[in-house]
Chain A
Amino acid sequence: MSERTVAPFGRRAARVLDRRRCGSYVVLRCADPEGPRPQGGQFYMLTAAERWGGGAGERPFLPRAFSVLRARTGPGGTELEFLLEDVGPGTKRLCELGPGDELLLLGPLGAGFEPPAAGRRPLLVGGGVGIAPLAIWQDELGAATPALLGFRDAARAKGAALLHAAVVATDDGSIGHHGLVTELLEAELDSSPAAVVYTCGPPPMLEAVRALCAERSTEAQLALESGMACGFGACFGCVVPTRTGLVRLCIEGPVIDASRLETAIVAGAGH
């Protein structure tokens, strides 16, 4: 296993450089001058510096977990991008941020994706906002790495532009293949079985990908989600079931090898 990149201790301020819409999603770019370059599949705990907790008696109180979408290192240090979908009070507040606003972040955290063994062809399979960790992973593996992405509708499918040459499926058939991304995956595995599947998305999609890969003995690495309070192994709140019992996703994952899982369904996760 490759060494994980460790996070600086304590949360730090990061300035938002840019906010842009991408269909239904928001992409936030921020400066993390002192931070290390994260690995694909690692995540950060994010908090808006202002109006987060303690304000008007409303949630959010805890930080929220986000996969890194893309990272660049330049003369000014590290720049990070996050892909956000507004599904509740925390993501809503983060989606409101604009250039000059401040984030508090902790990370990079967790264990990311492992590179494919020699002779194995990587294949990216994503759904919805779950495409985020696949973008940075495609940057690392090479732009030619094929990506199959599923979305609910055309507005969300705009997110496909964040990866190179993605093949798209939509639930409503408004763009690309009319149906599930797992149908595309099945066809792909039929034509080239020696693949390693890297996947992230909503729990039912992940579970379908896991089951399909298990059936065909195809290697798969799943980036899972679960409710997190801390992100660094302190609260034991983020556990997911594995063959060897409940494990803390923030420390053992978020990327978990499919061979460790009986199911990709995590209680309380998803919207």
Chain B
Amino acid sequence: MALMEPVDLCGIELAHPVINASGTFDAIAARRAFGDALAEQFPFAAFVSKTVTLAPREGNPPPRLWELAAGMINSIGLPNKGLERYLSEDLPELTGLLPVPLVVNVMGFSIDEVAQLVSAFAEREEVAALELNVSCPNVETGLMMGAEPGEVSALLERVRPLTAKPLIVKLTPNATDVAAVARAAEDAGASAISLINTIRGMALDPRSGEPWLGGVTGGISGPAVRAAALAQVYSVSRAVKIPIVGMGGIQSGQNALDLLRSGATVVAVGTESFRDPAAGALVARELAGLAANSDVSFLT
């Protein structure tokens, strides 16, 4: 454990460089399943919440999952209680149970909505940072917020002054030029970039030939996207100077090391936690072992 060196992510000190990917670990539900063991063996150096939206969302109709040879497609549809109940119910509960810093992931369907969400957390000292999920359309322009540099600039220019907290912009891989979007985010004041979100995909019901997922299309995650994640982290790291949270298909210390060597400062484990809730801790341990035996310094 002595091998795990603390990492600084925009001023937040993390015990090691492995956190969770948004929407792939629910600390409150995990507390019900694992009791006190969850906090005692908490697998991540920070906890990132599932996306919170202004209004409550029921999410997409089931079925929501499709398994692939090396991963899965999900069409979960961002179900959540909405801002108000997140603040009154989840935030106090999380504060009581988390042994690590909390990052709240938020998404709005317009710049105004994102601004309201950012303002709501701006003064909350329980929240270490905000992650902006921009993988959704701006209902005012009809453009994907995270797919166009101009959209991301406009968004950041509006919300950056609203809080002193770090703003991590989570990019969608479904964009023509992800590095250009990352640069626009940096120029407009983003504190860090996280990527990749899921890659759009689809599956047909083998019997009916109709789309399997209730949301018709969904997002691919897991080992299937690892090589795409590596390429995108690599290209974004050459375009920006702010730290990068790299994710996509991490299952091992070696996978994490690859993303760190391509330019990430911190990595996030997503789908692998479904196979083993302790995956984050295993990845961190393997990574520490690799770091001890490696002549490449990657913990910047």
Contact = CB atoms under 8 A, between A and B. Distances in A.
Contact of B67 (A7, A59, A106, A230): A59
A217 B15 CA distance: 56
Nearest to B279: A10
B11 interface: no
A19 interface: no
B67 A62 contact: yes
A216 interface: no
B70 A54 contact: yes
Interface string A251-262: 100000000000
Given A9-B41, A227-B63, A251 B32 contact: yes
B79 A236 contact: yes
A240 B62 contact: yes
Given A59-B69, A228-B65, A268-B212, 14 more contacts: A4-B32, A6-B37, A7-B34, A10-B276, A10-B281, A54-B70, A57-B69, A61-B71, A61-B223, A230-B277, A245-B58, A246-B61, A251-B33, A268-B65
Interface residues of B, number: 45
Interface in B130-179: none
A235 interface: yes
Given A11-B276, A233-B30, A234-B24, A239 B62 contact: yes
A267 interface: yes
B29 A267 contact: no
B76 interface: yes
A47 to B, nearest CB: 7
14 contacts: A7-B34, A9-B38, A9-B40, A9-B278, A57-B69, A61-B68, A62-B72, A62-B274, A227-B63, A228-B65, A232-B29, A233-B32, A234-B29, A235-B274
A266 interface: yes
B273 A246 contact: no
Contacts of B271: 229
A220 to B, nearest CB: 22
Interface string B187-225: 000000000000000000000000010100000001100
Nearest to B36: A6
A60 B65 CA distance: 13
B92 interface: no
B6 interface: no
B261 interface: no
A226 B212 CA distance: 14
Interface residues of A, number: 43
Contacts of B33: 6-7, 109, 231-233, 251
Interface of B: 23-26, 28-30, 32-35, 37-38, 40-41, 43, 50, 58-59, 61-65, 67-72, 74, 76, 79, 212, 214, 222-223, 271, 273-278, 281
A69 B18 CA distance: 37
A153 B26 CA distance: 42
A60 B277 CA distance: 18
Contact of A63 (B24, B74, B275): B275
B37 A9 contact: yes
Contacts of B278: 9-11
Nearest to B273: A234
A8 to B, nearest CB: 6
A70 interface: no
Given A57-B69, A61-B67, A230 B274 contact: yes
A109 B30 CA distance: 10
A117 B223 CA distance: 48
B88 to A, nearest CB: 19
B277 A106 contact: yes
